[in-house]
Amino acid sequence: MKKLLTVQDISCVGQCSTTVALPLVSACGVECAVLPPAILSNHTAAGFSGWSFKDLTDEMPKIEANWVREKISFDAIYTGYVCESHIDPILSIVKSCLKPGALRFVDPAMADNGVLYKGFAADFPSKMARLIDGCDYVLPNLTEAALLTGNVPFKTANEKLIEGLHRLGAKNVILTGVEDGKGGLGSAVSDGTKIEYDFNPRLESMFHGTGDVYASVFAGAVMRGRPALEAAALAADIVCEAIRKTAPDHWYGVSFELTIPQLSNAFLK
Ligand code: PXL
């Protein structure tokens, strides 16, 4: 079994970040170790009026030192929602705890719908870019891609965003939220030589946490040997199914839990 380390917060309530990654990566048949660099009472997106935040930056080098002493190493690292103070400790773990040839997945979870999430300074995208340099897969939405590549205000062609992300040092770019002009919504998958697309019919409802579901399934599927476009298509199918299974009055996340049988079935053969 492959062993992946995910580094993103624990939002105790909210169906996002670590509480999504751990079950979904596991459902793919990949061992999922976690390093939460902060614990929040709940996520910071619309609906909640506030949150508690316990930063764990100081713990990160201690955890790393123990892993080094125990000779613990990983086949992949998958980072999600993190803060500026977490970036140097993560880069240190990348150096000390990854096996040769290990994969680096970066979901630059920091913005959506044209704005940075609450709490991030305007220059945060340039800090997040440090994680992208040398990564194997970056999975931004359109807003994150525009902020990372300096292409605001958000009217740039997808191809230019993708080119900018490769220039930041990503080997493969999975750009989400791409439209096909015919009512379809999906992702563009680029390996730097060609761009392929995966589309699904657009679902009208918008839910928080779908980016985390997408990135978790994508990382799990790639670790199980799926080519990037196939992993992207599976991730999108699981997101769509999670949205369909979420009750209309459930407002803070998607019921991804109900897709776990479908996800694990995809890895039976
Ligand atoms: O889903 C991304 C995410 C993760 N963690 C926290 C968040 C968000 C998005 O708002 O607030 C704490």
For 32-71, what is each residue's pLDDT tens digit? Answer: 999 999 999 999 998 899 999 999 999 999 999 999 999 9
Q: At 226, is the secondary structure helix, strand, or coil?
A: coil
Question: Which residues lie below 8 Å from residue 98, measured CB to CB, with a gap of 6+?
Answer: 73, 74, 76, 77, 104
Ligand 1, atom 6, residue with closest C-alpha: 43
- Cα separation, 125 vs 79, whole angstroms: 14
Check residue 201 and give its pLDDT. Answer: 94
Ligand 1, residue 211: give the atom nearest the CA: 1
* Percent of the chain topping pLDDT 70: 100
What separation in Å is there between the alpha carbon of 144 and the centre of ligand 1? Answer: 13
Q: Is the pLDDT of residue 206 over 90?
A: no
Check residue 106 and give its pLDDT. Answer: 99
pTM, to two decimals:
0.98
Ligand 1, atom 8, residue with closest C-alpha: 43
Binned at pLDDT 50, 70 and 90, residue 155 comes out as confident
Provide the mean pLDDT of the chain.
Answer: 96
Average pLDDT over residues 90-107: 98
Check residue 265 and give its pLDDT. Answer: 98
Average pLDDT over residues 134-143: 98
Instruction: Decide whether any atom of ligand 1 lies within 6 Å of the 51 Cβ.
Output: no
Q: Is the pLDDT of residue 153 over 80?
A: no
Q: Is the pLDDT of residue 269 over 80?
A: no
Q: Is the pLDDT of residue 2 over 80?
A: yes
Check residue 137 and give its pLDDT. Answer: 99
- Cα separation, 169 vs 255, whole angstroms: 34
Average pLDDT over residues 215-231: 98
What separation in Å is there between the alpha carbon of 221 and the centre of ligand 1? Answer: 22
Instruction: Decide whether any atom of ligand 1 lies within 6 Å of the 144 Cβ.
Output: no
Neighbours of 247 (CB within 10 A): 7
Check residue 154 and give its pLDDT. Answer: 80
The 10s digit of each residue's pLDDT in 26-41 is 999 999 999 999 999 9
Q: Is the peptide bond before 153 cis (omega within 30 degrees of 0)?
A: yes
Check residue 21 and give its pLDDT. Answer: 98
Check residue 86 and give its pLDDT. Answer: 98
Q: Is the pLDDT of residue 204 over 90?
A: no
Binned at pLDDT 50, 70 and 90, residue 193 comes out as very high
Domain ranges of the chain: 3-265
The 10s digit of each residue's pLDDT in 11-28 is 999 999 999 999 999 999
What is the residue-wise DSSP string for 133-202?
TT-SEE--BHHHHHHHHT-TTS---HHHHHHHHHHTT-SEEEEEEEE-SSSEEEEEEE-SS-EEEEEEEP
Residue with tokens 């761009």: 195
Instruction: Decide whether any atom of ligand 1 lies within 6 Å of the 81 Cβ.
Output: yes
CATH topology of domain 3-265: UDP-N-acetylmuramoyl-L-alanine:D-glutamate ligase (3.40.1190)
Check residue 22 and give its pLDDT. Answer: 98
- Cα separation, 91 vs 95, whole angstroms: 6
* Percent of the chain topping pLDDT 90: 94
Check residue 217 and give its pLDDT. Answer: 98
